[in-house]
Structure 1
């Protein structure tokens, strides 16, 4: 059966708490705390949080920032910065503060639908892991600044999802159809979760939408069940920003007893096959990585690159996958390249 207690909650954000990899490896959330009084600005004190992540005086939105799918824990993240152009914006603006149930066939009673609602530019989605080293490459670093901004600017927010049975918050703030078998019972149409923001000072409307990379792109018009095996992971173009495998360092000017090499690091919690991956230099050098090599989860490995000369005057090093698509690239200058016997470390 579809998710229960589905609807939209109009409110004002007050603060947030995000769970990192160290806090919760299995099912981390971003907790967004909010209230229903547009004329109030209550003090937000995260130290008052109880064992269930509740804070007295506030409602809580439990926003998933990692999938429970064993093979793919990534989320897909879309932003529509021109949501005022969607016909839903005017309807939302007229809603009173509080929770409104949504379960109907008309525009006024329907909820969000990622497949049928034309809510965003579908190919623009980014597949993001929960918590990775490096800037702007995981869901925390992408989502948290948006949340901080709506708190600071006292924006109106519209949370779509399923209200808790205790009525003190909302969850399922993500796509709720095309689920893998374990969550198939939650499937339905026009019941997807999401966050719509209205910044009153600039009259800007922004929609933020989250799905799991393992969810299906095509679903049945009545049940919301998957009708093809294509998932968001299959559908979206490769995103070179994710940097799941990165170039950690390189010896471009090796000293006595050293070899020219490039060191790769896997930032993910799963192994990555590197068969037919290659390392390139800007001058056309090309080093094929060892056949059948698999880079361990969170592993680091040094690869000698005798077939890929790296200039001491500065160069660009690019890692390319088996499909010929760029995974990551780094560059260095003449000063870095002239230091013999020391690796160039890339951040």
Structure 2
């Protein structure tokens, strides 16, 4: 587990590139009169060397971004002071593995390597101090009487491990843990738009234990739909997927809440729903009926009064089982995704 999981808020003032076997893009950040360095991995020491990345240019997550905007400049201790800000690639719903692309550190040609995705954002921030950077990861320092090795400010301090920090089965297994993943978020304050950069090593496993962050299966997982509370059952091949849920609806008459789950049939043939079930993390189920036509989307109202699934606002799992009782799809959501009453969560 990371020792000092923090988020750094500040503005960019300089950029540098190291040239060793484990290269990083180094960014100098200024925050309330103090200088920091953030180190972004752009190549893995271990094979495969190319990283997985996602560069979301119109990032929207109101609960997270509003909380970040309210933070003071400088370092914030996430575990101690703001645990709700913790990022978990597998469980928080911010990113899925299938949304990430493989990119080399640098390659000839336009827009095909990590440098060409990351450096322009940093350079724009250097030119505009109204652009705020938020780096999540492991903090180091302050290192008194030891100037920073790239930018020469003193004391040296900053943030590294700005990438997924779980699912490692090799030399970095000791740093595995849930709710401690790294990322770089950028706020363009003049337009109130956000960008987000997520980084992951191809060797990391997305099937992780919710308590330790260690891998729990040989399969690295094709997507970031992780299990929140227990070891996941295998997911069988299925054309039906859970794509959304209304977890925290506006209270109706008598204080009732009309929670819903939305399914899609991705295939080109109709799928009978008779005998399929929706299930929550506590084993409460609701049997489905009818048919989903090719490409059809259906929103199903959950019947909690009849003992059906209940979607807890603190976070949980939603499971779809086929007629054999096998898990056809499973999604996890966190407390932060339920903060906006009446909003639908997209998986």
Q: Which residue of 2 aligns with 1:59?
A: 36
Tell me the residue number matched to 1:102: 78
Q: Which residue in 2 is equivalent to 1:175?
A: 164
2:289 is matched with: none
Structure 2 residue corresponding to 1:31, chosen from 19, 26, 29: 26
Q: 1:218: how far off? A: 1.2
Alpha-carbon separation, structure 1, partners of 2:89 and 2:223: 14
Q: CA deviation at 1:110?
A: 4.3
- 1:172-217 C-alpha deviation (Å, 9 max, x unpaired): 1111000132110000011011111110111001111111111111
Aligned length: 210
Q: What is the deviation of 1:109?
A: 4.3
2:41 matched to 1:87? no
Counterpart contact for 1:79–1:120, Cα < 8 Å: no
Partner of 1:4: 3
Do structure 1's residue 192 and structure 2's residue 181 form an aligned pair? yes
Aligned residue among 114, 118, 136 for 1:139:
114
Indicate the residue corresponding to 1:72 in structure 2.
48
| Unaligned 5+ runs, structure 2 | 144-156, 225-347
- 1:235 deviates by 5.7
Question: What is the TM-score of this pair, normalised by structure 1?
Answer: 0.56
Query: 1: CA distance between counterparts of 2:73 and 2:109?
Result: 38
Whole-Å separation in 2 of the counterparts to 1:103 and 1:235: 26
Mapping of residues 231-246 of structure 1, within 5 Å: 231=220
Q: Distance in 2 between matches of 1:165 and 1:138?
A: 31
Q: Which residue of 2 aligns with 1:221?
A: 210
Is 1:158 aligned to residue 134 of structure 2? yes
Q: Rate the CA distance shift 1:88–1:110 in 2: closer, same or farther, 3 A.
A: closer
Moved over 4 A (4+): 106-110
- Cα RMSD after superposing both structures: 2.2
Consecutive unaligned residues in structure 1, runs of 5 or more: 41-56, 237-347
SS of equivalent residue, structure 2 residue 120 = helix
- Structure 2 length as normaliser, TM-score? 0.56
SS at match of 1:84: coil
Tell whether the 8 Å contact from 1:80 to 1:119 is kept in structure 2 after alignment: no
Question: Is the contact between residue 27 and residue 37 of structure 2 (CA under 8 Å) also seen in structure 1?
Answer: yes
**Per-residue deviation, residues 286-342 of structure 1 (Å, max 9, x unmatched):** xxxxxxxxxxxxxxxxxxxxxxxxxxxxxxxxxxxxxxxxxxxxxxxxxxxxxxxxx
1:228-249: per-residue Cα shift (whole Å, max 9, x none)? 22337x669xxxxxxxxxxxxx
2:17 counterpart of 1:18 = yes
Shift of 1:150: 2.3
Partner of 1:212: 201
Shift in alpha-carbon separation, 1:184–1:121, aligned structure 2, 3 A: closer
Residues in 2 aligned to 1:6 and 1:159: alpha-carbon distance in whole angstroms:
11
Q: For residue 100 of structure 2, what is the aligned residue in structure 1?
A: 125
**1:218 & 1:91 partners in 2: Cα distance?**
28
Cα contact 1:86–1:119 (8 A) shared by 2: no
Q: Please tell me whether residue 148 in structure 1 is matched to residue 137 in structure 2.
A: no
Give, in whole Å, the separation in 2 of the partners of 1:143 and 1:203: 20
Partner of residue 114, structure 1: 89
